[in-house]
Structure 1
Amino acid sequence: MPTVPSRPAVELALLALLATLWGASYSFIKLGVATIPPITLIAARTLIAGLVLLAALRLRGLTMPRDRASWRRFAMQACLNSAVPFTLIAWAERTVDASLASILNATTPIFAFLLTIAVTRHEAVTARKLFGIGAGLLGIVLVVGVDALRGAGQALVPQLAIVAATACYGAAAVFGRRFAGLDPMVPAAGSLVCGAAMLAPASLAFERPWLLAPSATSVLALLALALLSTALAFVIYFRLFQTLGPVGATAQAYLRVPVGVAIGVLVLGEQPSGTALIGLVCVIAGVLAMTWPAGKAGNAGPPGLHTRRA
């Protein structure tokens, strides 16, 4: 398949949509684990999302690869990007607030950037990218407020589980370069199906889902998590690999907290503080710095968003 053409406005809009879908996932998980155990919740999440994507591929006339090498890569991506981190976060959110989980998980671009330096070395270390990381983290602290971080350490093991999940996401972003040239829906479907195959036996063995009586709220949260925050989000995620690169694709992590603030204002009537508004500016600056690579002088558009392979 030819490289996905990149249009700056489209890529940034997709980045914002991905941040919204994954930003909402923490609340969906919190509602889901209220009456559905974490392994079962994530097994159902990956199974539903994977089946939806397989059906969509069939309608589009596309087929999944049949060679073992491709499915080994899908299985590895499943470990790094769904089965392990999804389960860790779901387990942690039984005791950790969704907002704190979002904060801890927002460091994904840092892990991706550090791994590209240490392993693949395909991302240049520039002052601009270092500025982007710093500005994004500063913005998150300002948006949420220092008081929100006082709970850090009170549930150390669950919080470390979220940090481990974040490291997995960073590694998945780097590993995702191996899927360049595939339709974005193919690795998304393959990795989710593999994730479901890994988690379903554990769910049956340890959580006996046939005995559960989940609430309607948890079931609706599960469906939203599977269809919106997983199936749709994964397609966008793998597309952004091909246009923004792994570090740029993970920069949406910095947008999750501002999205949460906006939802709070529109839905819950919350009023952000002055420091939160300054933080929003820092976050936007950080995202732009990480997703707008420098190019030749005089370019009409952002060169980092023109056609390229991740």
Structure 2
Amino acid sequence: MTRQKTLSPRSGAELLLLGLIWGGSFLAIRIALDSVPVITTVFHRVFWAALALWAVVLIQRLPVPTSWRVWRAFLVMGLLNNALPFTLMAWGQLHVDTGLTSILNAATAIFGVLAAATVFPDERLSATRLTGVILGFAGVSITIGIGSLLRFDLQSMGQLAILAGTVSYAMAAVWARLHLSGLPPQVSAAGMLTGSTIFMLPVMLVVDGPPALLLPAETWLAIGYFAVAATAGAYLLYYRVLAAAGSGNLLLVTLIIPPVAITLGALVRNEALPPNAYLGFGILAVGLTILSRSGRRD
């Protein structure tokens, strides 16, 4: 049995930084959506992030895969981990507040545990982890509100779209472990984002047309933030924390993101969440904490 990794002060600081970066991405995406269509927003995110990561790969002189099998895995990963969830969540943010989006995004960890337990023998669902999953789902249900889902209006559909994006993230994690293990994380991330760019480019041209370049300065700042900082940079930081502290401790980042996003949404866009959202996040946080401490074999 492998020794469980711990969260050192350095890894803890990097985890906090990652949570702050990702927490700010929800506001940046919402600002961009004021001027840019959904599909084009997603294209900007994956395209500029891919360029930034390939620059890192070239600077570090990392080997670039030439096998079709690897690039096929990149294409599927780009679809599951970027193109689908980014699009679903960006559309959802048109109808759902920034803070609420970040809370629902935390369900990624819940679906990830279930997906891994289904596929991998060493990720089985123990009693402790099952408790965490149940609490997580309870928190998500309270956050959304059963009455909201029964209405099937744009807000409830937006919330369902965000949850569908978290399911796609969970499937991507399983795919990555099956097909991309052993590659340098910089190469995996660059290849994945290249795959998602290949998907998003024709969809953007058909749905939105060529992207406009004459955009407000705040829109370009938002695009730069969520593409370069919150996607390319965050992936590099993500893999550093994963290697040093393990996946169980990395899960704690999902507890840092919502408070940051809620605060920014309130300060910048005057968003106010209903009491059930805070109650739901509290219960979800307990579930995620149990999952992070459940003795995963990192």
Aligned to 1:81: 81
Quote the residue 2:225 is aligned against: 224
Structure-2 residue corresponding to 1:44: 44
Larger CA deviation: 202-211 vs 225-234: 202-211
Q: CA 1:243–1:171 in structure 2 vs 1: closer, same or farther (change >3 Å)?
A: farther
Task: State how far apart, in whole Å, the 2-side matches of 1:150 and 1:224 are.
Answer: 35
Q: 1:256 maps to what in 2?
A: 257
Which one is further off, 115-124 or 47-56? 115-124
Partner residue in 2 for 1:165: 165
Structure 2 segments unaligned to the other structure (5+ residues): none
3-state SS, counterpart of residue 209 of structure 1 = coil
- Give the 3 Å change call, closer, same or farther, for CA 286–11 of structure 1 in structure 2: farther
Whether 1:109 aligns to 2:130 is no
Residue of structure 2 in register with 1:125 after alignment: 125
Deviation at 1:279, TM superposition (A): 8.3
What's 1:214 paired with?
215
Contact 2:27 2:264 in 1 (8 A): no
TM-aligned CA deviation for residue 195 of structure 1 = 0.8
Seen in structure 2, the aligned counterparts of structure 1 residues 151 and 232 have a Cα distance that, compared at 3 Å, is farther
Identity of aligned residues (%): 31
127-136 or 103-112: bigger deviation: 127-136
Counterpart of 1:203?
204
Provide the C-alpha distance between the structure 2 equivalents of 1:204 and 1:172, rounded to a whole number of angstroms.
Answer: 26
Change (3 A) 1:122 1:180: same
Q: What do residues 145-181 of structure 1 show as CA deviations (whole Å, max 9, x unaligned)?
A: x699986654233222212111101111222213332
Letter in 2 for 1:236: L
The aligned runs of 1:1-310 (5 Å cut-off) are: 8-9=7-8, 10-134=10-134, 153-155=152-154, 156-178=156-178, 179-210=180-211, 213-239=214-240, 249-261=250-262, 286-294=287-295, 308=298
The residue type paired with residue 261 of structure 2 is G
Change (3 A) 1:124 1:148: closer
**Per-residue deviation, 1:21:** 2.3
Which amino acid in structure 2 is aligned with residue 253 of structure 1? T
Match of 1:299? Answer: none
Letter in 2 for 1:169: Y
Shift of 1:259: 2.9
CA distance in 2, matches of 1:150, 1:257: 23
CA displacement at 1:277 relative to structure 2: 9.5
Distance change >3 Å, CA 89–CA 270, structure 1 → 2: closer
| Matched position secondary structure for 2:96 | coil
Give a deviation string over 1:17-38, Cα, whole Å, max 9, x none. 3332222221111100111111
1:22 and 1:229 in contact (8 A); partners too: yes
Q: In the comparison of the two structures, how many residue pairs are matched?
A: 290
Query: Where does the alignment leave 5 or more consecutive residues of structure 1 unmatched?
Result: 295-303
Secondary structure of 1:181 counterpart:
coil
Q: Aligned-pair distance for 1:230?
A: 0.4
Aligned amino acid, residue 59 of structure 1: I
Offset at 1:12? 4.2
- Give how far 1:91 is off: 1.9
Determine the C-alpha separation between the residues in 2 that align with 1:6 and 1:183: 20
2:99–2:265 Cα contact (<8 Å) kept? no
Which AA in structure 1 matches 2:30?
K
Larger relative contact order (Cα-Cα within 8 Å, sequence gap ≥ 6):
2
Shift of 1:85: 0.8
